[in-house]
Amino acid sequence: MRALLQRVTQASVTVEGQIIGAIGPGLLILICAMPNDTEATAQALAQKIAKLRLFKDEAGKMNLSLSQTGGAALVVSQFTLAADTSRGTRPGFSYAAKPDQANALYLHFAAQLAALGIPTERGQFGADMSVALTNDGPVTLWLDTES
């Protein structure tokens, strides 16, 4: 799986003019399932993200995890993280998991974060979404379970 994490002070996702998910301080997680991913992959990634020390402690150092701060996660499916830009100027997306598999893994990933005690909101798989956020830092990380 591929994930792009953005530390935020707030984030929301809107579909057809309605906010369907919103968080305060925490992480906006754009997530993409790849063809070889499994539920175990999603679970391992959720556990890693919950423990990553991306939040400031009393001394101002990035020393606290999402679990430790009580922050929330807004999880948004993002198949374009699988873009292949090696040829030409139009990205290809054949490296992304097929929609049925991708949706199941997206839901499983979000459920695993919630099971770890992380307040979790979601976007809507396959929808045309508008995502609003206020970066904190900014702190942005790219995770790929293949590497």
Catalytic residue set: 78-80
CA distances from 97 to 13, 20, 33, 39, 85 (A): 23, 24, 5, 13, 17
For residue 97, give the H/E element and its range: none
- Nearest CA to 23 among 121, 137, 141? 121
Quote the tokens at residue 54: 């991306």
Q: Which one, of 132, 104, 108, lies nearest residue 120 by Cα?
A: 108
Rounded to whole angstroms, the Cα distance separating 14 from 123 reads 8
Bridge partner residues of 132 (DSSP): 12
